[in-house]
Amino acid sequence: MDAIVGLAAAGKTAVFRALTSGHGSSASGSRGEHVGVVKLPDERLTKLASLAGARKVTQHEVTLHDLLAIVGPGAAPSPDAREAAAQSDALVQVVRAFQREDVPHPLGSVDPDRDVKAFESELALNDLSVIERRLERIDIVLRSARPAERDSHEREVELLTRCRSYVEEGTPLRSLLTDPGELKALSGFGLLSLKPVLLLFNIDENEVARAAAVEAEYRSRYQSPSTEVAVMSAKLEAELAELSPEEAAEFRSELVAGESPVGHILHLLQDALGLVTFYTTVGDECRAWTVPAGTPVVQAAGRIHTDMERGFIRAEVINCNRLLDLGSVAEAKRHGELRTEGKQYPVQEGDVIHVLFHV
């Protein structure tokens, strides 16, 4: 689950509608929050399916949660929304860049750079209080801990103290912590600045024709580890998503709006999460999967079926673009391009994987 967050009236709900309309299903909660499941648009998957003659195509699904403002100003921060953000895998942080007199900005003016900073410092404040509370608890536990237990508590104190100094210096934890052991140790605390972020600048309708240039500019300023950057004119995209593809295409060409940014944005979200996509064809089903970059193929196989992990023999692997160029698996074999990989092979972005196993 990825949470859509941001200041009040940044356009969170408009982003949610733009990303989910026509691409998935959604349901509303009692407090105005929404949950939606989006199928990740994937041109490579469509092509692979037709190459394989697959009748069933299963896209990767992303679950999005449209939240109320989790921080002020301008809105009473919602503790429920904050809790939902703490439990999410990543944050889609909507930043208002559109001008509109009739929709007042809670801080009185439209200033995306200020809002990014304001939001980051709210995340930092949240994390400081989480860290302080945890340190106080360990302190109490340590007083009566047996020598055998002290070690792990002391290591946790060291890690949390280090996190506290990062946060106090104003550095979000996501851009500093990469050690898998440390990330695991911190995973239960709901530290918000540790979550991967997609910064999504919600731009004016009249900027869509130069969206790519605007995006490049924001990216040069804000892209950092576990932080991706994109732009979208959310209200416009939400409206276009309600139209038939033909009508939408007509409006897009009038607005010189380029293609729908939805696929691009969802893929950037996967990038922020450090996920790679791989593909399988089993029977008549062609399917896209995601796993964290670096996942050994034997574990990736376990995502498909536990038998495949237990009885893993080897995997036949080819990059999807290479396979699409060659036109068929048979042709790839003839060119010796179907590689054989063992258990520990780290899955690469775009791999087409055939797992050989016995049970």
Interface with ligand GTP by CB under 6 A: which residues? 6, 8-14, 68-69, 75, 98, 100, 103, 202, 205, 233-235
Task: Return the residue matching tokens 């929404």.
Answer: 34
Q: Of ligand GTP, Mg ion, none, which one does residue 289 interact with (CB within 5 to 8 Å by kind)?
A: none
The phi, psi pair for 358, rounded to 5°, reads -135, 150
Let me know: does 270 contact 339? Beta carbons within 8 Å: no
Give residue number: closest CB to Mg ion. Answer: 13
Q: Which is nearer to ligand GTP, 5 or 52 (CB)?
A: 5
Binding-site string for Mg ion from residue 11 to residue 50, where x marks contact by CB under 5 A and - marks none: -xx-------------------------------------
- Only one of the segments 4-12, 112-120, 128-136, 269-277 lies at the binding site for Mg ion (rule: CB under 5 A); that segment is 4-12
At residue 210, what is the residue type? Answer: R
- Residue 8's binding partner, choosing from Mg ion, ligand GTP, none, with beta-carbon cut-off 5 to 8 A by kind? ligand GTP
Both structure tokens of 18: 């733009």
Angle at 306 between CA 302 and CA 307, to 5 degrees: 115
Q: Is 93 in the site for Mg ion (CB under 5 A)?
A: no
Partner touching 52 among ligand GTP, Mg ion, none, CB below 5 to 8 Å by kind: none
Nearest to 90 by CA among 56, 63, 68: 63
Closest by CA position to 92, among listed 205, 227, 191, 223: 227
Nearest distance, CB of residue 221 and ligand GTP, angstroms: 20
Which residue's CB is nearer to ligand GTP, number 237 or number 351?
A: 237
- Nearer CB in complex with ligand GTP: 174/235: 235
Contact 78, 31 (CB under 8 A): yes
Rounded Cα distance between 294 and 309, Å, is 16
Among the listed residues 207, 197, 310, the one whose alpha carbon sits nearest the alpha carbon of residue 258 = 207
Q: Give the nearer residue to ligand GTP in terms of CB position, either 201 or 345.
A: 201
In angstroms, give the least distance from the CB of 13 to Mg ion. Answer: 3
Pick between residue 19 and residue 191 the one whose CB is nearest to ligand GTP.
Answer: 19
Q: Which is nearer to ligand GTP, 69 or 173 (CB)?
A: 69
What letter would DSSP give residue 224? Answer: B
Tokens of 136: 């106080």
Q: What is the dihedral of CA 71, 170, 196, 129, to 10 degrees?
A: -50
CA distances from 98 to 10, 203, 288 (A): 9, 5, 35
Kindly tell me which of 70 and 353 has the beta carbon lying closer to Mg ion. 70
Chosen from ligand GTP, Mg ion, none, partner binding at 270 (C-beta under 5 to 8 Å by type): none
With CB under 5 to 8 Å by kind, the binding choice for 11 among Mg ion, ligand GTP, none is: ligand GTP
Closer CB to ligand GTP, 12 or 60, in the complex: 12
Query: What CA–CA distances, in Å, run from 1 to 61, 67, 195?
Result: 10, 12, 12
Least distance to ligand GTP from the beta carbon of 209, Å?
A: 14
Q: How far is CA 20 from CA 15, 37, 39, 46, 143, in A?
A: 8, 7, 9, 20, 51
CB of 224 to Mg ion, least distance (A): 27
| From 5-13, 156-164, 196-204, 234-242, span contacting Mg ion (CB under 5 A) | 5-13
Residues engaged in binding Mg ion (CB under 5 A): 12-13
